[in-house]
Amino acid sequence: MIKRLVDIGAVKFGAFKLSSGLESPFYVDLRSVLGEPELFQWVIERYEAVLSGLEFDVIIGVATGGIPYASVLGYRLKKPMGYVRDEAKGYGTGRQIEGADVAGKRAAVVDDVLTTGKSVLNAIRAVRASGGEVAGVVVFLDRGQCGAEAVKREAGVYVYSVYKMRELLEELRPHIGEERYRSVLDYLSQWRC
């Protein structure tokens, strides 16, 4: 299944500019997984395996990339689910968290990819501002660029990942060639957290 991530372009190699402004020799877009029913199921199962080690009451997705995964996980695990918007909607309810009420609850925050930790830190603040606590953050891929360390340092919350990029890179090694493998490894090695 891992190779499928490359086949469908969920993991791409080249020269990319991330939303954080950083340059990168690889780009991960888990949203393309949504178009692959079998891969989507496999990714959900991986998330569930990680979540099984966490005690929580509600699942909170980080908009927009984390919403599909949080929705299916909430549905499958029969847990209340919600999502954090980037900013409170101007009309209607004006809440920053839509869906489940987190007051007095332990939330598992779910996103697809972790880079700097910025959007996850925003979600943790929103959960706490709504009276909830965060049991942990679960992502499919931690890009290994000190995001998890930033979340631990700034919010005291641990980030659990299905894959760290180095782990994914090792599994992809036979499929992407030595040169590409080395260039990404060099890129990742520059991150001293």
Q: Tell me the binding residues for 5-phospho-alpha-D-ribose 1-diphosphate.
A: 85, 89, 111-119
Q: Interaction with a second copy in 64-83: which residues (CB under 8 A)?
A: 64, 67-72, 74-75, 78-83
Q: Interaction with a second copy in 12-51: which residues (CB under 8 A)?
A: 16-19, 27, 29, 31-38, 40-41, 44
As to burial, measured by CB atoms within 10 angstroms (0-12 exposed, 13-18 middle, 19+ buried), residue 151 is buried
CB of 115 to a second copy, least distance (A): 11
End-to-end alpha-carbon separation of the chain, Å?
A: 30
What x/- string results for residues 163 through 182 when contact with a second copy is judged by CB under 8 A?
--------------------
Are 84 and 107 within 8 A, CB to CB?
no
Inter-helix orientation angle 118-129/147-155, to 10°: 30
Site for a second copy contains 63 (CB under 8 A)? yes
Q: How far is CA 75 from the centre of its chain?
A: 18
C-beta of 17 vs 182, nearer to a second copy: 17
Site for a second copy contains 93 (CB under 8 A)? yes
As to burial, measured by CB atoms within 10 angstroms (0-12 exposed, 13-18 middle, 19+ buried), residue 112 is buried
* Residue in 193, 113, 111 with CA at minimum distance from that of residue 146: 193
C-beta of 75 vs 191, nearer to a second copy: 75
| Binding residues vs a second copy (CB under 8 A) | 16-19, 27, 29, 31-38, 40-41, 44, 58, 63-64, 67-72, 74-75, 78-83, 85, 91-93, 98-101
